[in-house]
Amino acid sequence: MDSIQVQGGTGLQGTVRIQGSKNATLPILAATLLTGDESYIGNCPRITDVYHMENLLRCLGCKVNWENHGLRIQSSSICENDMPAEAIKSMRSSVFLLGALIGRCGRITLDYPGGCVIGERPINWHMSALEQLGVRFYQDACGLYAVTEGLHGACIKLPFPSVGVTENVILAGVMARGQTCIVGAAREPEITSLCDFLNCCGARIEGMGTDCIHIWGGRPLHGTRYRMEADRIVAGTYLFACIAAGGSCFLEEAPAHQMAAVIHVAEQMGAWCDISPKGIFVQALKKHPVLNHLSTAPYPGFPTDLQSVVLSVLTANEGECLVEERIFENRFRIVEELQKMGASIQILDRHRVLVKGGSILQGTHVEAKELRGGAALVVAGLMAEGNTVIEGKKYIYRGYENICRDLQELGARIVSV
């Protein structure tokens, strides 16, 4: 079977360690291609998307091995045209191979990347940015062919602070002649991690964490050792799960310095959060203050990847809340599933829903249709009366190492079947 079963009504209590960051690991694994050397990436999450990227690296000729909770990658010899189409289409993050392989090989043939169904996420933004660095693209129904006679620096102004586009420009920019400036760059922690990794490899990048990143390209790169930070989205999921189910939990290694907006919303929803160098202690309060409005935004705003989880929790919160999704246009696929459980949610348009709190959710069969919505249904199951069966667990395991094990450690009655 492909499902997760949750018996609701049990509060959470205890300690859970937060896995390494999915969103930072994937572009860093792509970046190892640029070194032509051996790198070790510690604290890698053992999730489906990482396994897919591991497979892609092997198809390219890299030697990849798991060692002590990390991946050792030797990229001295690669063959850029040996990637099977099904591997590319299995994950959206394969788009990072555009910048990495163009930087390493000067050309790439790539089937259109696959992955989530949460939005359009147009690849033309990636193409437009890379064209300014000297890349020419040709495309047909089968995919993309990209070639460059030599990458060169440029000042690239992004129309939107896209994380993926920013990362692709960084990957290509470190191999380009001269200086590249990204104006309107994404500020997410994953950008900083990628830049930190490349700087450890010998690159010179400044301004990460701001909306203006400067890259001095053409410097020789070498392998390095790097440890991934904990996953802020997984930490946020478990934080809101504690609010939903009640109780108190310690989120070990949770990156609180990356989660200011998340913690602020959690406190508005009735949590007490105590931050320490070792993680976040969260306690659900009996009185639930009213959250009237929630809007997603690029970092440091509230992350779109946690919107669905909060939507689940809001169904039981007091009052009404307007939820605005400003990043992706298809994040509300979970609404129909929550309505099956008894939630009162009105879709106003594809970017806004109105949640009327106070619902007592009832366990039933629901379906995960994408990664974060699937995790949100698990949280809804913790809140619900009776048994909830979530079909489509494969989506959830794209980003969570073992959500059932983690929640079991906190006392939840949950199994994967």
pLDDT of residue 145: 86
Mean pLDDT score, 130-151? 89
Cα separation, 252 vs 281, in Å, equals: 8
Cα separation, 6 vs 237, in Å, equals: 16
The pLDDT confidence band at residue 117, using thresholds 50, 70 and 90, is: very low
The pLDDT confidence band at residue 116, using thresholds 50, 70 and 90, is: very low
Tokens encoding 298 = 């690029």
Please list the active-site residues: 116
Cβ-count burial of 51 within 10 angstroms (0-12 exposed, 13-18 middle, 19+ buried)?
middle
Mean pLDDT score, 367-380? 96
Domains and CATH numbers, the chain: 3-19+230-416 (3.65.10.10), 22-227 (3.65.10.10)
Averaged pLDDT score across all residues of the chain = 92
The pLDDT confidence band at residue 396, using thresholds 50, 70 and 90, is: very high
The pLDDT confidence band at residue 108, using thresholds 50, 70 and 90, is: confident
Mean pLDDT score, 258-269? 96
> Is the Cβ–Cβ distance between 171 and 100 less than 8 Å?
yes
Mean pLDDT score, 29-56? 95
pLDDT of residue 96: 73
Count of CB atoms situated within 10 Å of the CB of 214: 18
- Is residue 386 pLDDT above 90, yes or no? yes
The pLDDT confidence band at residue 140, using thresholds 50, 70 and 90, is: confident
> Is the Cβ–Cβ distance between 41 and 71 less than 8 Å?
yes
> Is the Cβ–Cβ distance between 346 and 356 less than 8 Å?
yes
> How many residues are recorded in the chain?
417
Mean pLDDT score, 207-216? 98
pLDDT of residue 98: 87
- Is residue 114 pLDDT above 90, yes or no? no
User: In Å, how far are 86, 94, 111, 172, 228 from 89, measured between CA atoms?
Assistant: 5, 8, 7, 22, 25
Tokens encoding 238 = 């478990």
For 233, phi then psi, to 5°, come to -75, -40
**pTM, rounded to two decimals:** 0.95
66-87: pLDDT as tens digits: 999 999 999 998 876 555 555 5
pLDDT of residue 110: 74
